[in-house]
Each structure stands twice: as C-alpha cells, then as structure tokens.
Amino acid sequence: MSDSYDVVLIGAGHNTLACALHLAAKGWKTGLFEAAPTPGGAVKTGEYTLPGFRHDWAAMNLNLFAGSAFYKDYSAELAQHGCAFTPVSKPFASAFPDGSWLGVTTDRAETLARIRAEDPADAETWSRLNDSFPQTAEAIGGLLSIPMKFNAIACFMFKMLRRNKIGGSLDIAQFMAQTPRRFLTRSFRSEKMQALLGAWGLHLDYAPDVAGGGIFPYLEGMVAQNLGMTLGQGGADTIIRAMVKAIEARGGRVECNASVAKILHENGKASGIELADGRRIAAKKAVIAGVAPQALLRMTGPTESRFDQAMRDYAYAPGTMMIHLAMDSLPDWAAGAALQEFAYIHLAPSLDQQARVYQQAQAGLLPDEPILVVGQPTTVDPSRAPQGKHVLWVQVRMVPGQIKGDAAGQITAKTWDEATAPMAERALDILERYAPGTRAKILEKHVVSPLDLEAENPNLVGGDQVCGSHHISQNFMFRPARGHSDGSTALKNLHLTGAAVWPGAGTGAGPGYLLARRLAK
C-alpha cells in the first residue's frame, strides 16, 4: 500500500468534508481523494464566464449549512479558516406574466402587506402559519435531523406524543404526507400565492402532486420569513475552502485529480481503495464513499444480492440545466425594480405549469416552458463581480437527462450536445419576457447541460442535482435502501454518504455528520 489512514474518503463534497473534519477532530488520520480538479462537488464557485465574475456552479443557497448541527459545532473553527456568510433579508419572490409579483422578506409587516393586497384571507393564513411555526418546526425539524433507527424514531415519536398529544401528532403526520398542491390550495386562495411557495417543491423533486412534498414549500416560506437566506461571502465555496483548510490543519489530506478505480475488500470487509493511477491506499478503520449508489457498485463489484439490487434500482430525479451570466447590470424586471433586491426570482407562474413541466421532463421531453430560478447574488454580495457589474445564476428546472423529444415540437435534437444551445435560448426567451432587455445586458454566458453537470460530478446522474428522488418510497428509512439509511453497506467498514443517504440533499451536511458521529461514537 502507498499510504495508510484510519479512514479513507472517496470524494470531497461538503458531506465527506464534514465527515472527515469531525473524524479528524476525534483523532482519526483522514485522507480524501477527489476525482475532480477542485473539491466541493456541487458546491463550487468559479470564473466560468469572464475574469472577476464569480459564479456558483450549482448550489447557491447555504441556509441549510448555516443552520446545521455541523456548523453549530464547528463554526468557530471554520471562521478561523475564512468561512464567511452574507445574510439576505429579501430571500425570494415570484414574477408573473401579468407584470405583478409576490415575495417574502424578513420584514413580516412588509410581506403581509403585499400578500394582503393580493388576498386578505391569505395574509391571515400567512400570519397564522408564522405564529405556529416554532412548534411545527420543532416537530418537523426534529424528524429531519435524527438517524432513521428504531430507537431514535421511537424516542422522537414519544416526545412528539407527549408534546402534541395523539390528535396533534396525527395532524403533523398528515401534514407531512400531503402533496404541495393539497397544502397550498387548502391554505391559500390566491393562485399566485400557491405558485410562489410551490416552486420550492421542485428544488427537491417534489412537483405539486407528489405525496410528502407539502412540507418543503411550507418550510422554505417560513424559514425565509423568519430567518432570511444565507449566501456564501464571495461564493458558496467559502464553506468548502474553510473545511479543506480545517482538515489539513488537523493533519488530514485532501487530494484532487485522484480518481478511485475500486474499493478493496476481502472476506466481506473493506480495507482501502485503489486509484486510477494504480496507487493503493489502506484504511485501518473505514472507507467512506461519497458517491452515487450505482457508482458504489462499480467500485466494489458484487457484494450481497439484495443490497446490490437496491443500489441498481435507486431512482433519480429529472435533470437541471445551469446558465451562468456575466451581466452589465441587473435585469429590468417588468414587475418592478423592487425585484432587483431579491436573491431568488422564480419564474413559475402556476402550480399547473409546474406540474406540467415536471411531467414533461419525466417523460423525456424538453419542457415547452421550463421553470426558471434566477439567482441575483450580487444584489447582496457585490464582491462576486467587478464594480458595477453583476452575475446571474439561472437554474432551468426540470429537464430530462436523456432526451426523447421536445414538448414544444421545435427542437429536433435528441442529444445534449445538440440540444443545449436551443434549450438555453428557450430559457433566455422566458427571462426576456419577464425582464425585457436582459439579453442586451449579457456580457458573456456559460451554459451547463445536465450531462455536463454529471461529467463534472458523477453523483449528479442525468443532471439530477439532489442525487436521487426524495419521494416517500426513497426517503426517510428507505434512503438509499431499507436497512441502510445510516450509510452502512453490505461490506463491513464500508460506508456510503452524500445526498443519496438520509437525510438527503441540501447543503446541511447531515449525511456526513451523522455518519461521522456514529463512527466516532
């Protein structure tokens, strides 16, 4: 063996980095090996258009990281290594085709006034939801942060029953099983209000009619109202750079351009890894793979039949296209200049359109009018662009990883090599309708197809930025498979982490930190 560590980690995404830092803090000798030229996985920042314009590659919103148990425990150490955030008081809004808009700010009176102008009854509902948010968030947040083990679940359920009684507990359980459409249409009369919140479901593969997705529009709305949004100062990679430095300061190693060819194991026990260049790295205590389930199988070869089949059957969400724009100035939104102050603008005018786009992408069709998430990070963090200039971060949701056709009947290409340019133009056409003159402000653009995302980070299969569907059949104790929500595998000393493992996607580092705490006891 070329080198030996207590723990060897495959990949340097934020989950493996968080895992490695905690284990290093507990005295474990750690080594991380990343195939890409830079660490971070989907959390990267770079000058993808012009010098001086810093774009977040995929993840931009760092709310989950800033509010995570991992950050609570390591915030001081990360700050010493340069981790810094930019608070956002105007997190998100939606613009509509008729020139109107709705948005959520941390000023409750301001938010209520705009909702009241749309529908007074909806303002009352919003106020009532805010009042009850602390109690509801305690229950939902508690469930979303515990290990999916019998003892932990039983303890959580006992506490919930004691606090909320049987009736209240059943109400919370029913709430968590709702589709976004059912929650939103029962709560709000305005279709614009429904669309404003419903767009958040698509961030986690919850289209309006998918069971179990109702809590995410609710949580995003309430968190934005009460806490705002958190962006990385200078870019989302502030957390990655700080974690790498912290690991190295504790004696750990983070090596990039180091592709792992196989996981070494014998007699049902993992012992290390072999890199593509032939080097063998020994692991005394554990091998931790921050990879997609199918990739794990490619690295191990056959292990145990039920586990192997579960990894093969793991389901992915539709893909995403990213468009990075270097801008001469911010878009002139038809709905009003006030929209320039928001971090996120959703162009997702109705629940019906959101559902249609999702169905089209699931069927392998390029959507006729995809949902756009337009990020304006330089409105709060001007350090990401030269003075007076801006960057736009545009997510095109949803698109198929493999193209079978075009819902609009206009794009004939069946491969992303040929479909990327016309699909990007379709997205920019939508942006231009909501903000006339935007095209003329573009200094340079960089378009990333779903397959480009996967090529850069193989965990994003088909451009799926959440590394696997979060539908109920593949969530909670079933993520990634029954009996393995803690990251265990069919091999002793081999563990899986990342967004494919409970508690799933997002920047909260939950999968990595839960695993690290379990291993370090």
> Of 174, 198, 225, which residue constitutes the final position of a domain?
225
Same domain, 208 and 138: yes
pLDDT tens digits along 152-164: 776 767 677 777 7
Sequence-ordered list of residues with C-beta below 8 angstroms from that of 395, at least 6 positions apart, any chain: 320, 321, 322, 372, 373, 375
Same domain, 206 and 275: no
Q: Are 386 and 413 in contact (CB under 8 A)?
A: no
Same domain, 150 and 217: yes
In a domain, 97, yes or no: no
Same domain, 305 and 204: no
Same domain, 221 and 241: no
Q: Tell me which of 210-224, 382-396, 441-455 is least confident.
A: 210-224
* Residue 479: Cβ within 10 Å count: 24
pLDDT tens digits along 273-302: 999 999 999 999 999 999 999 999 999 999
What is the per-residue pLDDT for 158?
Answer: 67
The pLDDT-based confidence of 20 (bands split at 50, 70, 90) is very high
Nearest partner of 232 among 222, 240, 223, judged by Cα = 240
In a domain, 413, yes or no: no
pLDDT tens digits along 331-373: 999 999 999 999 999 999 999 999 999 999 999 999 999 999 9
- Output the average pLDDT for the chain: 95
In a domain, 372, yes or no: no
In a domain, 446, yes or no: no
Q: Is the pLDDT of residue 433 over 90?
A: yes
Please state the pTM of the whole predicted model. 0.95
pLDDT tens digits along 469-478: 999 999 989 9
> Of 176, 196, 225, which residue constitutes the final position of a domain?
225
The pLDDT-based confidence of 520 (bands split at 50, 70, 90) is very high
Q: Which CATH number belongs to the domain containing residue 478 in this structure?
A: 3.50.50.60
What is the per-residue pLDDT for 47?
Answer: 98
Q: Which residues pair with 363 in a beta bridge?
A: none
Q: How many domains does the chain have?
A: 2
In a domain, 416, yes or no: no
Same domain, 284 and 309: yes
Same domain, 125 and 168: yes
In a domain, 408, yes or no: no
Same domain, 134 and 158: yes
- The three-point CA angle 193-196-199 to 5° equals 140
In a domain, 189, yes or no: yes
Residue that wins the pLDDT comparison between 173 and 496: 496
Q: Is the pLDDT of residue 141 over 80?
A: no
Q: How far apart are CA 86 and CA 362, in angstroms?
A: 36
Peptide bond before 60: cis, by omega within 30 degrees of 0? no
Q: Is the pLDDT of residue 329 over 90?
A: yes
* Residue 388: Cβ within 10 Å count: 9
What's the average model confidence in pLDDT over 227-245? 98
Q: Is the pLDDT of residue 137 over 80?
A: no
In a domain, 150, yes or no: yes
> Of 179, 205, 225, which residue constitutes the final position of a domain?
225
What's the average model confidence in pLDDT over 201-216? 93
Q: Is the pLDDT of residue 1 over 60?
A: no
User: Which amino acid, one-letter code, is at 117?
Assistant: A
Same domain, 131 and 201: yes
* Residue 234: Cβ within 10 Å count: 17
Q: Is the pLDDT of residue 437 over 90?
A: yes
Q: Are strands 344-347 and 3-10 parallel, antiparallel or unpaired?
A: unpaired
Show contacts of 176-179: CB within 8 Å, 24+ apart.
176/140, 176/143, 176/212, 176/214, 176/215, 177/211, 177/212, 177/214, 177/472, 178/211, 178/212, 178/213, 178/214, 178/215, 179/208, 179/209, 179/210, 179/211, 179/212, 179/213, 179/214
What's the alpha-carbon Rg for the chain, to the nearest Å?
22
Same domain, 221 and 242: no
What's the average model confidence in pLDDT over 130-146? 80
What is the per-residue pLDDT for 173?
Answer: 75
What is the per-residue pLDDT for 441?
Answer: 98
What's the average model confidence in pLDDT over 212-227? 93
Same domain, 219 and 114: yes
Range of the domain at 197: 107-225
What is the per-residue pLDDT for 145?
Answer: 74
Please name the helix (run of DSSP H) or strand (run of DSSP E) that holds residue 122, with its range, or none.
Answer: helix 120-145
Same domain, 180 and 156: yes
